[in-house]
Structure 1
C-alpha cells in the first residue's frame, strides 16, 4: 500500500536520496526545504511529488506537517533529514550561531514530530519517524561544538519521543551516518583535506547517500515494527574503531600465564 512520506532537507544529497528510495517502492513524496529551485530539481524525477518551501528556523516551522497532511493526505512516514554543519572555532562561537544550528538540527525535528503525533493520535493513525543523526553525536571535532551537541541532543530526542509516543503506536528511530559523499556542498561545504581525514573505516570505502536511504527505508518498514528508540549507525564501521591504527606493541607478544 502506498504511503505518504514527508522528507525535510529534500533538496540535499541525503534528503533527495531518501525521497527517491521511498518513491521507488511506490510511496508518495512530499519534500520540504528552504531552497525552492534546488528542491524542485531534486523532486523533478519523482512522479507526483509535492514540494513545500519552509524555513525550519521559524517558530511555526511545524506548519509544513499540517500543510502536507491537508494537501496530500495523512503522513505515514516523517524523515527529519534537514541539517547544517557549519565549522566555527569555539572561540568564535556566538549565541546566534549556536541557536541557528540548534533550531534546524534539533528544534525543527522536535516540532515536526510533535505536530505529526498530534494529528496522528487525533486520527487514530500510527506513523513512523526517522531522524538523521550523525557520528558527531559521539565524537567531537574542532569547529563543531554546536553541530555535535545538536546531534547528540537529537539522539536523546529520538529516544524520548519513542518512549512517550510508543503508547500510541508511533515508532521513532534515528540513522547515524558516517562520512557520506555527495551531501549538500552548496550549503555545507567540506574541504578535500577534511574528507581525507574522516573517510577511513573498516569497510574501506566512503558512504553514499543510497546507503543511508536504505537504512531509513528499513526503519520505516514493517520489518522494523518492533524497533523504536534505536540509533542505527550506518558508517562503514568507523564508530567501531580505527583500522588505520598500528598494532600498539612492536612485534608479537604472548599472554603471560602464572
Structure 2
C-alpha cells in the first residue's frame, strides 16, 4: 500500500517546517514548498536525518498568483496528493499610514489567494482521479484580533478563515474536507518581521502555562488530515493555549464586596 502524500507550503522554516517534519515522522511522503531555496534544501536534509524520510523540495514564489496551482500540479505528477497544508505566510510589520498597495497586495496574494487557488487546483485534480484529499489552512488569532502594524496580515488571515469555510461548503459534496487551525503566537525565525523580547512576552501570555507547543499544533494538523477527522470540515480550531478564550492576567476590577453580594447577604439574613 502506498504511503499518503502531503504538500506543505512554507516548509523551509517556522510552523510549516514543524508540520512537514511531523508528517514525515508519521509515515507521510512530503513535498515541501517554499520560496527560500537554500533554507528549503537545508530543512529537507535535516528532516531526512531526523526522520529517515526524504522530502521533496519545490522552490515556488507564492507571491505569483499563478504559482500555487502550478506547484500542486507538479507535486501531483510525482504522486496523488492526500493532504495539503497551506502554511506559507508573510507578516512584514507596516504601520497603517505607511502601508501601500504593493505591500497590501503581496500579503493578500501569499496569505490567502495562493492557498485558495492551491486548494482549487487540488480539488480539480482529485475529482478527475476520484480521490478525496483533505486541506488544512494555517490561519491565525490575528484574524479576530487586530494589532498595530498588522492590518494587511490580520485582514488576510480573516479572509483565509472565510476561504476555508467557503471551500468546505462547495467541496464537501465531493468528499473533500477543508479546515483551518488558528495558532496563537509562535516565535518563528522571520527576517521579514523579527520581534522583540518584550513583544514576544506580551503575546505569549496564555491561559495554559508554558511556551507555545508547536508539537501540539502539528499533531492537530495531522489529525485534521486523517480519516479520524472524516466528519469535520469548515472548522477553525484554535491551537493557542487558550488565549482566544480570554485572559487570566487581569486583576479583579473591584475591591471589597459588590452591591450584588451585599444585597444577597442581606436577603440570606432575612430568610
TM-score normalised according to structure 2 size: 0.91
In 1, Cα distance between equivalents of 2:229 and 2:201: 34
Aligned counterpart for 2:70 among listed residues 57, 63, 66: 63
Alpha-carbon contact 2:11-2:88 (below 8 Å) kept: yes
Per-residue deviation at 1:256?
A: 3.6
Contact 1:4–1:27 under 8 Å retained in 2: yes
CA distance in 2, matches of 1:255, 1:115: 64
User: Aligned pair 1:41/2:42, yes or no?
Assistant: yes
Following superposition, the deviation at residue 49 of structure 1 comes to 1.0
Query: Once the 2 structures are TM-superposed, how far is the Cα of residue 108 of structure 1 from its aligned partner?
Result: 0.5
SS of residue paired to 1:155: helix
Size of the aligned set, in residue pairs, is: 256
Alignment of 1:62-101 (within 5 A): 62-71=69-78, 73-101=79-107
Q: Is the 8 A contact 1:43 1:49 kept in 2?
A: yes
How far the C-alpha of 1:255 sits from its partner, in A, is 6.9
- State the Cα RMSD in Å: 1.3
Aligned partners of 1:199 and 1:10: how far apart in 2? Answer: 23
- What is the CA deviation profile of residues 6-28 of structure 1, one whole-angstrom value per residue up to 9, with x for unaligned ones? 00000011111101111111110
TM-score (norm 1): 0.96
1:167 CA displacement: 0.5
**Which structure's CA Rg is the greater one?**
2
C-alpha displacement at 1:221, in angstroms?
Answer: 1.1
User: Measured at CA, do residues 243 and 63 of structure 1 come closer, stay the same or move farther in structure 2, by a change above 3 Å?
Assistant: same
1:59 deviation in Å?
A: 2.6
Q: In structure 2, how many angstroms separate the alpha carbons of the residues matched to 1:118 and 1:33?
A: 22
1:85–1:256 CA distance, 2 compared to 1 (3 A): farther
Asked if the contact 2:65–2:113 (Cα under 8 Å) also holds between the matched residues in 1, the reply is no
**1:152-201 deviation line (CA, Å, top 9, x unaligned):** 000000000000000110000001000113x1323431221210111101
Aligned mates of 1:187, 1:127 — CA distance in 2: 32
Match of 1:106 in 2: 112
Structure 2 alignment gaps of length 5 or more: none
Q: Which runs of 5+ in 1 are unaligned?
A: none
1 or 2, which has the higher helix percentage?
Answer: 2
